[in-house]
Copies of this chain bind each other. A is one copy, B any other.
Amino acid sequence: MVSNIFKVDSTLNEPLYMQLYHRFRDAIDSGQLLAEQRVPSIRALASELNLARGTVELTYQLLISEGILIGRGAKGTFIAPMANCLRNKKSIITPNFNQDTHNAQVTSFYHENEVLPFQLGIPALDAFPLTLWNRLMHRVLRNTESVQLGYPDPQGFIGLREALASYLAVSRGVVCSPEQIFISSGYRASLLLILRSLFQEGDVGWFEEPGYHIAREFLQKMGMVLVPIDVDAEGINVHLGNKTAAKAKFALVTPTHQSPTNVTLSLERRMDLLKWANEHKSWVIEDDYDSEFRYLGRPIPALKNLDNDNRVIYCGTLSKALFPSLRLSYMVVPTHQVARFKNTAQQLGGNSPIWTQQVSQLFIQEGHFSRHLRKMRNLYRQRRQYLIDAINQVFADILFVHQQSGGMHIVAELINGQSSERFVKQANRQGIGIQSLTSWMQSNHSTQIILLGFTNIKSAQDAFELCLKLKNCYFLTQ
A residues at B contact (CB < 8 Å): 1-8, 10, 23-24, 26-27, 30-34, 37-41, 44-45, 47-51, 76, 92-93, 95-100, 103-104, 106, 108-115, 122-123, 125-126, 128, 130, 134, 137-138, 141-142, 144, 146-154, 162, 165-166, 168-171, 173, 175-177, 179-180, 185-189, 192, 196, 201, 214, 217-218, 221-223, 267, 294, 297-301, 305-306, 308, 319, 323-327, 335-336, 338-340, 342-344, 346-356, 365-367, 370-371, 373-374, 377
Contact = CB atoms under 8 A, between A and B. Distances in A.
A362 B291 CA distance: 38
7 contacts: A31-B165, A48-B370, A95-B338, A109-B151, A122-B150, A151-B324, A185-B327
Nearest to A339: B100
Nearest to A218: B347
Contacts of A109: 150-151
A26 B169 contact: yes
Given A126-B146, A149-B324, A351-B351, 19 more contacts: A5-B173, A6-B300, A30-B177, A33-B166, A37-B365, A38-B366, A44-B367, A45-B170, A98-B339, A100-B340, A106-B343, A108-B346, A109-B151, A110-B153, A134-B142, A148-B325, A150-B323, A185-B185, A325-B355
B267 A6 contact: yes
A325 B218 contact: no
Contact of A177 (B32, B146, B166, B346): B32
B349 A186 contact: yes
A180 B41 CA distance: 27
A222 B200 CA distance: 10
A351 B327 contact: yes
Contact of A367 (B76, B128, B151): B76
Contact of A44 (B95, B173, B294, B371): B371
Contacts of A371: 44
A130 B108 contact: no
Nearest to A155: B110
B24 A336 contact: no
Contact of A327 (B103, B343, B353): B353
A196 B221 contact: yes
Contacts of A297: 50
Nearest to A153: B110
Contacts of A348: 188, 218, 221
A294 B168 contact: no
A30 B178 CA distance: 10
Contact of A2 (B38, B97, B175, B355): B175
Contacts of A300: 6
Given A10-B267, A50-B299, A168-B32, A125 B149 contact: yes
Nearest to A301: B6
A110 B350 contact: yes
A472 B255 CA distance: 59
Contacts of A336: 95-96
Contacts of A352: 185, 327
Nearest to A326: B353
A343 B123 CA distance: 25
Contacts of A323: 149-150
Contacts of A4: 173, 301, 305-306
Nearest to A201: B201
A122 to B, nearest CB: 5
